[in-house]
Amino acid sequence: MTEFSLAELCITAGSDIFRDETPEVFATVIGLVPRLAGSLAKKTFLPGLMMSDGEYYFAHEPVPVGPRNGYMPLKEGAIGYERVFDLIAKGNRHAFVGPVQVDQYGQMNLSCIGDYSSPKVTMLGVRGLPGNTVNNRTSMFFQSHNKRAFVPGEVDMVSGAGYNSARYPNGIFPKGLDHRRIITNLCVLDFEGENKAIRVRSLHPGVTFDEVQDNTGFELIRPKDLSETVAPTEIELAIIDSLDPNNLRKNIFKDNPNGRRL
Amino acid sequence: MSSFEINKCMTPEKIVSQIEDGMTIGIGGWGARRKPMHLIREIVKSDLKDLTIVSYGGCDVGMLASAKKIKKLIFGFVSLDVIPLEAHFRRARSAGEFEVMEVDEGMFQLGLKAAAARLDFLPCVAGLGTDVLTHNPEIKVIQSPYSSDNYVAMPAIKLDVALCHVTEADKLGNSFISGPDVFFDEWFCRAADVSYLTAEKIVPTSSFNDDYKIMRMPIERSLVAGVSEVPFGAHPTSNGPDYGIDVDHLKLYSSRAKEGWSQYVEEFINCEDYIGSVGGVEKISQLPLPVF
């Protein structure tokens, strides 16, 4: 049986969010798992996927993460910040991001925790989440699935919009609101429950539904045909290795655990 | 008056002396990239107070926060990019030291564009369904006059002054940005009553008779009231491709957020020779560009 790490399982599950994407989607992938996931999708089944080099250019080939050691990204266009805003508004974009909190509506927080005027914890700010979430497909990665991240009620500061009709004029969701998946260290979640409720889509090998539910601050939908997260193939593992030649992925989870719980 | 009589060259001190207490100041660049840091240090040194700061924030916001210059911050994020969280901003924000208007990065740009076009607002979808609207009740939601869609009416962010750092400028106020991304500098300048630039180098106008450079000259000279030659004026932020982010200096700066700010000011802001204090010309010239 093929050996793989939990990080590699999350990267492969992350690439799967692009499986039903448009052929030339612009993917914004922030953080190591989203970046490697998007890169893997481009190298395996979605060659038209558009990615940046992380700085300014559209890269023809996914840029390996970490020290470049002489590697020069192969440019095929420009994607400065102003153009990013234009493409967010145009809509054919999938943002795969790592917020700090998420709630039952898929609302995200990247701003602060606690009282808004003098927060207990100040983070980055809302960044582009308000615009991303009502214009583009949105997926998330959480390195640690627990009740501090998957909060009861609503997140402390709703930075990214979700499926909470009380927050919209006449209760109508914006046309562009389209949350897809959440990848965590325990499972893959989606928004395919009734009224866009969050559902467990697959459990990572050895994880139970109850464990996921116990670590989530709101009720999750349990589908009838709850499957196991698909393991990476040898080919996928080799591609991941080529995209991460310095093995930065070994530091995503403490002690770099096996993808199959022992 | 013919063009050769225009001379907008002035000292950085003169630029900062044009700013008044209570003004709204827009700062170009993005995060830890191409910030007019020399001017920021001049503001820290000055007696200025109660400023409203408008920025895609980095250590510009952090330094002004620790120097207690900020009455209100208009922002979408504050980050040093290579160091995601800005320690000085975090400390000051969590202490409730200034008011905030926290908006989406795209809404922020629309606010500048609205001011630049002399409009009250520009519509967008961003902001709907979020606490951006809860915490900024002055931002209204309107119905489209053409359909039942609802839009956020992002109010104009009018600036009294915009400050930017560029690669080259001439005495007329023409300017060239060599780094690939010009960010939103032209929108800060167009949203402002008046703009000032620092430049790595003041050059003759003939230097801009160049098709490559002309593609990277987003700021109309009519917007610019003053230019000042300040080599390495963006340090410790980057001015690609000439020099990268000074990560080691930003780490040291970050370590002075909870205590040691006055020591930082003594060492790096009130000093006679800033470039010398941070390692010299050769060292800064060799700072690698950020890689993500």
Q: Which domains does chain A have, with CATH numbers?
A: 6-251 (3.40.1080.10)
- Which residue in B has a C-alpha nearest to residue A67's C-alpha? B291
Provide the domain limits for residue B219. Answer: 7-103+157-285
Q: Domain check: are B52 and B136 in the same one?
A: no
Q: Domain check: are B150 and B181 in the same one?
A: no
- Domain contains B92: yes
Q: Domain check: are B147 and B244 in the same one?
A: no
Whether residue B3 is predicted with pLDDT greater than 60 in this model: the reply is no
Among the ranges given (B88-92, B179-183, B286-290), the one the predictor scored with the smallest mean pLDDT: B286-290
Average pLDDT value for residue range A179-206:
98
Q: Domain check: are B138 and B198 in the same one?
A: no
The predicted-structure confidence for B109-143, as pLDDT tens digits, reads as follows 999 999 999 999 999 999 999 999 999 999 999 99
- Domain contains B111: no
- Domain contains B219: yes
Residue A92 in tokens: 């054919």
Q: How far apart, in Å, do the first and last CA atoms of chain B sit?
A: 49
The predicted-structure confidence for B20-39, as pLDDT tens digits, reads as follows 999 999 999 999 999 999 99
The predicted structure's pLDDT at residue A262? 76
Measure the CA–CA gap between B288 and B278, rounded to whole angstroms.
15
Whether residue B1 is predicted with pLDDT greater than 80 in this model: the reply is no
The predicted-structure confidence for A116-152, as pLDDT tens digits, reads as follows 999 999 999 999 999 999 999 999 999 999 999 999 9
The predicted structure's pLDDT at residue A225? 87
- Domain contains B112: no
**Distance between B143 CA and the closest CA of chain A, angstroms:** 9
- Domain contains B275: yes
Q: Domain check: are B74 and B56 in the same one?
A: yes
**B237 neighbors B164 (Cβ within 8 angstroms):** no
Q: Domain check: are B168 and B142 in the same one?
A: no
The predicted-structure confidence for B233-253, as pLDDT tens digits, reads as follows 999 999 989 999 999 999 999
Q: Please give the share of chain B, as a percent, with pLDDT higher than 90.
A: 97
The predicted structure's pLDDT at residue B4? 59
Give the number of domains in chain B. Answer: 2
Q: Domain check: are B126 and B268 in the same one?
A: no
Whether residue A22 is predicted with pLDDT greater than 90 in this model: the reply is yes
Average pLDDT value for residue range A57-80:
95
Average pLDDT value for residue range A49-75:
94
Contact residues, chain A, for B96 at CB < 8 Å: 117-118
**Distance between B6 CA and the closest CA of chain A, angstroms:** 32
- Taking an 8 Å cut-off on Cβ atoms, the answer to whether B96 and A118 are in contact is yes
Interface ipTM? 0.97
Cα–Cα separations (whole angstroms), residue B55 to A199, B112, B154, B213: 39, 11, 16, 26
* Facing residue for B130 by CB, picked from A55, A78, A159: A159
- Taking an 8 Å cut-off on Cβ atoms, the answer to whether A131 and B126 are in contact is yes
B291 interfaces chain A, CB cutoff of 8 Å:
yes
Confidence class of residue B2 from pLDDT cuts 50, 70 and 90?
low
Confidence class of residue A54 from pLDDT cuts 50, 70 and 90?
confident
Whether residue B292 is predicted with pLDDT greater than 80 in this model: the reply is no
A158 interfaces chain B, CB cutoff of 8 Å:
yes
The predicted-structure confidence for B34-56, as pLDDT tens digits, reads as follows 999 999 999 999 999 999 999 99
Confidence class of residue B81 from pLDDT cuts 50, 70 and 90?
very high
The predicted structure's pLDDT at residue B289? 86
Q: Domain check: are B134 and B72 in the same one?
A: no
Average pLDDT value for residue range B187-200:
98
Please report, for the domain that includes residue B194, its CATH number. Answer: 3.40.1080.10
**A96 neighbors A28 (Cβ within 8 angstroms):** yes
Confidence class of residue A69 from pLDDT cuts 50, 70 and 90?
confident
* Facing residue for B129 by CB, picked from A117, A120, A134: A134
- Domain contains B2: no
Three-state secondary structure call for residue A183: strand
Q: Domain check: are B256 and B175 in the same one?
A: yes
- Taking an 8 Å cut-off on Cβ atoms, the answer to whether A67 and B291 are in contact is yes
Q: What DSSP designation does A248 have?
A: G
Q: Please give the share of chain A, as a percent, with pLDDT higher than 70.
A: 100
Q: Domain check: are B132 and B226 in the same one?
A: no
Contact residues, chain A, for B107 at CB < 8 Å: 130-131
Q: For A130, phi and psi rounded to 5 degrees?
A: -60, -45
Confidence class of residue A1 from pLDDT cuts 50, 70 and 90?
confident
**Distance between A198 CA and the closest CA of chain B, angstroms:** 18
Q: Domain check: are B96 and B68 in the same one?
A: yes
Cβ of A3: how many Cβ atoms within 10 Å? 10
The predicted structure's pLDDT at residue A244? 98
- Domain contains B207: yes
Q: In chain B, which residue ranges form alpha helices assigned H by DSSP?
A: 12-17, 37-45, 59-66, 87-94, 105-116, 131-135, 185-191, 211-214, 247-255, 261-264, 274-277, 281-285
To the nearest 5 percent, what fractions of chain B are helix, strand and coil? 35, 25, 45
